Structure 1
Amino acid sequence: MTRAPDSARRSPLNRERVLLAAVALADRIGIEALSMRGLAQELGVVPMALYKHVANKDELLDGMVEVIVGEIVRPEADGDWRAGVRGRILSARAALLRHPWAARAIESRSRPTPAVLGYLDSVIGAFRTGGVSADLTHHAMHALGSRVWGFTQELFPAPPGDAGLDPEPMAAQLQQLAAHFPHLVEIVAARSHDPGSTVGGGCDDQFEFEFALDVLLDGFERLHRRGWTSTH
C-alpha cells in the first residue's frame, strides 16, 4: 500500500485531512477494502488517532459522502429551472464517476447527511424558483429517482466477456435468441458502440443518461406549462 509522503504525515491531523485521505484511499482500493486500520497506515498514525476525528467507520463514511457531495456544482440558472436541474444532475454524475464507490456509499447511509439534504434541497429549489409547483416537483423527484445523483441501473447489462467476443459467434448467438425474443434482440443489436462503457456493454453511457434525463425534463416542462396537478 502506498503511504502518504513524510511531509503529509507530519502535518497536524484533523477531520478534513482524515476524510480527504479516506476518499483518496477508497478511489484506489474500493470502499469494501477501506478500513480504519488501513486508513491510519495511509496517514502514518495509530488507529486510535483517527477516533478523535471520526467516531467509527459509519461516521467516516458519512464524512466521505459529504466530501463527494461537496464536489457537485450547483449552477445559478436565473429562473431557468430546467438548466438548473440538468446542471446539478450532470455535475453529480461527474462527481460519482470520479469516485465509483460513492453511489454505493450514498445508498448505504441509513440517514442522509446534511450535505446530501442540502443537495436535494438545491435540486428542489431549482424547480421551485423556476415556477414549478410543489405538487409537480414532488412527482418529478420521484420520477428522477437515483438519476438525481447521476446514476441508474442499466437495463441491458453486458454478458461476461462481451467486449472480447468475435463478431461471428455473437451474431450466431443473437440469431438463436431472435427466434424467441425478436424485439429484445432488435434493440440490443441496435445499440451504439462504446467499448469503454461502464454500464451495459456497447452503450454510450453518457448519451443514454442524458437522453433519459432530457426526456424526463421535457415531460416535466410540458406538464408545468399545462398547469398540471396530481388532483386531476
Structure 2
Amino acid sequence: MSHEPDAASPIDPGRTRRSRGSLNPDLILQAAEDVAAEGFDALTMRAVAGRLGAVPMALYNHFATKDALVDALLDRVLGRFELEPATGDWVDDLRRFAHAHRRVLTGHPWAVAPLFSRPNPGLGAVRIGEGALGILQQAGLSGARAVAAFSGIIALNYGWSSFTAPRTLDPGTPGRDVGAALAALPRREYPLTVGAADELASYGSDAHYDFVLDQLLNGLRMTARASSGS
C-alpha cells in the first residue's frame, strides 16, 4: 500500500489554505476525481491536497493510504451505475444492463484501466453484479452459467472501453487516421484488410458494439431455451 511522505503540498495559485477540520470524504473524492480526469497517473495525495488548498496529512485523517483513496474513488464511479426497471423480457433487460454499465465506463474513460486492474471491487461492483445475476436468474441461468454470462458482458464492456478510452482522452490520437493507413497497404498482400479499411477505422463504434452484444445475447437466449426444454 502506498503512503506518501508528508511533504509540502503544491497548493494551486490563488487558493487560500483550507482551515483545519474543514475536509470530508466527499470533498476529497471530488477533488481526486478532478485530478484523475486530467490524467490518472497524476493522482497523488499531494495533488489532491493541492487542489483542496490543504496539506497532504489532512487527507490521511479520512483515507489511511492512497490505495484506500483510489478504491473509494473507483467505487464512487461504479456507484453511478443505474439499473433500469425490469421489462419482463430478460434479454432486453440484459441488453439495457450492458449499455448502462458501458455508459459508466465511457463517461469516465480515465477510470477504465484502474477499474479493470484493481483487486478490490467495492460495493458498487457488487451491486452491479447483483443486478446482472438477478436478470440471468429470470432466464433460468444460475451458478456457473450465470457467472460466466455476467463475466462475458463485463469483459466485453471493459475490452471495448479500452479501445475507445484513448480516443476520448486524446481526440488527436493518431488512431483517427488508421483507415487511411490500412487502405494504403499493398492490396496483394493484405486484400481483406484493405477491403475492410473503412470499417476497421471505426473499430469500437456503437454499431460494432451492438452487433457483438447481440451475438452474445442470442447465444444466451439459446442456452436458456435449451435449459428450460422449450
Bucket of the pairwise TM-score, normalised by the shorter protein:
0.7 to 0.9
- Residues 4 and 43 in structure 1, CA contact (< 8 A), matched pair in contact too: no
TM-score of the aligned structures, taking structure 1 as reference length: 0.76
Name the aligned partner's letter for residue 216 of structure 2. Answer: L
How many pairs were matched up? 212
When residues 148 and 12 of structure 1 are mapped into structure 2, their CA distance, relative to the original with a 3 A threshold, is: same
Counterpart residue number, 1:24: 34
TM-score of the aligned structures, taking structure 2 as reference length: 0.76
When residues 19 and 186 of structure 1 are mapped into structure 2, their CA distance, relative to the original with a 3 A threshold, is: same
- Residues 88 and 123 in structure 1, CA contact (< 8 A), matched pair in contact too: yes
Question: 186, 189, 196: which one pairs with 1:180?
Answer: 189
Q: Does 1:210 align with 2:219?
A: no
Distance (Å, rounded) in 2 between the aligned partners of 1:132 and 1:142 = 13
- Residues 177 and 201 in structure 2, CA contact (< 8 A), matched pair in contact too: no
Secondary structure of the residue aligned to 1:74 is coil
Aligned-residue sequence identity (percent) comes to: 28
Counterpart residue number, 1:195: none
- Residues 75 and 124 in structure 2, CA contact (< 8 A), matched pair in contact too: yes
The Cα offsets for residues 127-178 of structure 1, whole Å up to 9 and x where unpaired, read as: 1134334343233234334225573555xx99x73545896x764x23x1x3
CA RMSD of aligned residues (A): 3.4
- Residues 35 and 42 in structure 2, CA contact (< 8 A), matched pair in contact too: no
Counterpart residue number, 2:223: 223
Identify unmatched segments of 5+ residues in structure 2.
1-9, 168-172
Secondary structure of the residue aligned to 1:215 is helix
Question: 93, 105, 116: which one pairs with 1:107?
Answer: 116
Secondary structure of the residue aligned to 2:22 is coil
Distance (Å, rounded) in 2 between the aligned partners of 1:132 and 1:23 = 37
- Residues 37 and 47 in structure 1, CA contact (< 8 A), matched pair in contact too: yes
Q: Does 1:62 align with 2:75?
A: no
- Residues 91 and 217 in structure 2, CA contact (< 8 A), matched pair in contact too: yes
